[in-house]
Chain A
Amino acid sequence: MLRNIIICFCLFAACCSFGSQVNRIVSLGPTVTTELNILGVGNKIVGNTIYSKDSKNIAKIGNITEANVEKIVSLKPDIVFATDLSNPTQLALLKKLGIKIFTMHNPHTYQAMCEEFVKIGELVGRKSRAESIVEKSNREVNVLRAESSKYPKQKVFFEIGANPLFTITKDSYINDFIKFAGGINVASDASAGIYSRENVVANAPDVIIIMSMGIVGKQEKMIWAKFDTIPAVKNNRIFIMSADKLASSNPLSFPGTLKEIMTKLHPDKVK
């Protein structure tokens, strides 16, 4: 019996040991880097994209779409975290050279985001820390959801690209921001691609949220001002939000951003 327990313990340790043996991590996306930092393994990152602003001596291995295979190999990573935007040919080359890769897919829902976060935690030996962060996030989100369900639903148009016009469909977790905040995404059933401004006018959203890109955000606001049949325009409920907060969300930041959106949707009600 004791022998069995010892064997089980050893197997269990072996399973966990990969996680604790991860000492050198390469990240191919700033979102991943942020999550790794949250999990407390930021000091194990040896390679990063040029977009991650950290002051440490971390090697730069490329940008979000192009990674330098040679550089990565020379860093001898234990694991490489890739994203949907990483070049598949380069990933195939890394795989061929025996490097372990985990590809993060842009989560379609908040739940998927949490599951992926836990998976990352598992891979770097911080599973329990990941799980507790997710648990806390879930609690806060549920509280906010309960609150927003009391308020009348608001029709929302979420603009993430101007010239041409791009929006969020139900394929993105940002859709969950809208849902949980008590909003209805007017474009949720649309297919990918350029969205027609006509459709927005026809859908008459109560709120328009523009994911800002500097001056473009202000210019877009002025364009929308021409369509004063839209309630959002009439009632001056067009908001600009920062792209970082929205596009690089993680379970830790999610509740905070959700609250911010809720205040935009239900201004008199949320404090």
Chain B
Amino acid sequence: MIGPNKNIRAARYGMTIDVDRCSGCGACMVACAVENNVPPANPKATDRTGLTWIRVYKIDNGLPYPETRSAFVPVLCQHCGNETPCVHVCPQQAVEVDPATGVVGEMPQRCLGCRYCVAACPYHARYFNWWDPKWPAGMEKTLNPDVTPRMRGVVEKCNFCHGRWHAAKQQAAADGKPDTEPVEYTPACAEACPTKAIRFGDLNDPASEPAQAAKNGESFRLLEKLDTGSKIYYRSKREWVRQIANAPHPAASGKESFHG
């Protein structure tokens, strides 16, 4: 595991997702897949065996028409900061939290494919490569050279666009900025969101949007009571949407639809 370095001013990258602004267009999912070389779905893949690092769920308030209201909730790795559930279970240290960024990283090259981390994640944000990754002829030329494609039999998940973070670090070095300072960058999903529902920044920086949003009374984190220290803050003015922070209830969930 990476040990903390006292000379580095650690960042704690996080996100705020405004559920009221999300239109469910899926641009974040597409941008993420392109940026991170997530292969096109195998023809036999289902919604439970497909690969995506960010998944947009459609929820509704469970009331009949005309009171029906719906919303879209993008769910990605929550980059838990408190006893990260997936880090503790991995038998061969293929998952780790970078103390310099707070990002929960996955090392596919070391992954055994035991899927214990998949079982441990309460947000279902980890995906297993059930098939060999395949791109249609010619499409492999569009692969992002900064990100390694993963092989069959390993787990993968959101890493807040690690390739972009690296590029930002290199740019900072080229600009003569100290290596010990956090860098500013934007992950592909936040960049692609047409309604600016997804905002990304350093939660340690009080001026950053996610840090400010975290203090907002309309903000919440999924499954807050599990105390996983999630770095993804959701916000909504609607009370029924804020209820999704809680555990599921059989009676209510039966009415809710599901989309990904």
A, B co-complexed = no
Q: Please list the residues of chain B having a beta carbon within 8 angstroms of any beta carbon in chain A.
A: none
